[in-house]
């Protein structure tokens, strides 16, 4: 998606060969026009897949997931990383973040997903695929189907894509980075930008 890639080049900061800082437009300050365009693109990409709900994880995935849900006309659910005292019947899964090197527990209220729901997972990054695996496990506990995954930025040398493909889940990535370094900049993986 050219608009996203241009914004990454203009406002992203390559902190290391594995970490791209996107806080100027995606996960801290949010470029609302860009988010609207991203949401429309995911909605178009997954039109016809019978999506009944969009799901993401707090916090970085919420902005693109919300705009996708708006364009699809379905609810958005975001899995939480802390259990609020108001949650009455939670489902849980433990996820390991390789990027941050911590384990965290994801939870959501069981009643928000109905058996038979067809759920679209949206996230800001696809890196090690652990967020994807966590959401898949949460949905399995609720007998709901993961019908697709829409990712804003994929780092294609990391194992996330393989994990999604091995699960046979349709994957749409908008900007796929083949490699990056502070000195050389970004190389795109055009083969992976499928919508």
- Is there binding between residue 126 and ligand G4P (CB under 6 A)? yes
Closer of 31 and 124 to ligand G4P (Cβ): 124
Identify whether the C-beta of residue 41 lies closer than 8 Å to the C-beta of residue 194.
no
Cα of 184 vs its chain's centroid, Å:
27
Token pair listed for 123 = 């996230």
Q: Does the protein bind ligand G4P through residue 175 (CB under 6 A)?
A: no
Residue with CB nearest ligand G4P?
Answer: 60
Q: Which of 21, 191, 92, 71 is nearest to 11 (CA)?
A: 21
x-or-dash pattern for ligand G4P, window 132-171, by CB under 6 A? ----------------------------x-----------
Q: Where are the beta strands (DSSP E) in 4-110?
A: 13-14, 20-21, 53-57, 76-79, 90-97, 102-109
Q: How many Å from the N-terminal Cα to the C-terminal Cα in the chain?
A: 8
Q: Which of 8, 35, 57, 72 touches ligand G4P (CB under 6 A)?
A: 57
CB of 163 to ligand G4P, least distance (A): 8
- Interacting residue ranges for ligand G4P, rule: CB under 6 A: 19-22, 27, 57, 59-60, 97-100, 124-131, 160
């Amino acid at each position: 998606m050219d608009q996203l890639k241009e914004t990454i080049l203009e406002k992203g900061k390559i902190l290391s060969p594995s970490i791209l800082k996107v806080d100027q437009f995606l996960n801290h300050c949010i470029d609302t026009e860009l988010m609207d365009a991203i949401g429309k693109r995911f909605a178009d990409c997954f039109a016809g897949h019978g999506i009944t709900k969009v799901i993401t994880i707090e916090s970085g995935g919420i902005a693109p997931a919300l705009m996708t849900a708006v364009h699809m006309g379905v609810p958005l659910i975001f899995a939480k990383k802390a259990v609020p005292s108001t949650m009455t019947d939670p489902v849980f899964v433990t996820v390991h973040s390789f990027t941050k090197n911590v384990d965290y527990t994801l939870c959501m209220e069981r009643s928000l997903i109905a058996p038979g729901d067809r759920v679209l997972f949206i996230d800001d990054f696809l890196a090690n695929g652990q967020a994807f695996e966590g959401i898949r496990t949460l949905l399995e506990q609720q007998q709901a189907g993961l019908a697709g995954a829409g990712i804003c930025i994929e780092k294609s040398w990391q194992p996330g894509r393989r994990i999604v493909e091995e699960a046979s889940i349709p994957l749409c990535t908008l900007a796929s980075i083949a490699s990056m370094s502070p000195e050389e900049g970004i190389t795109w993986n055009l083969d992976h930008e499928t919508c």
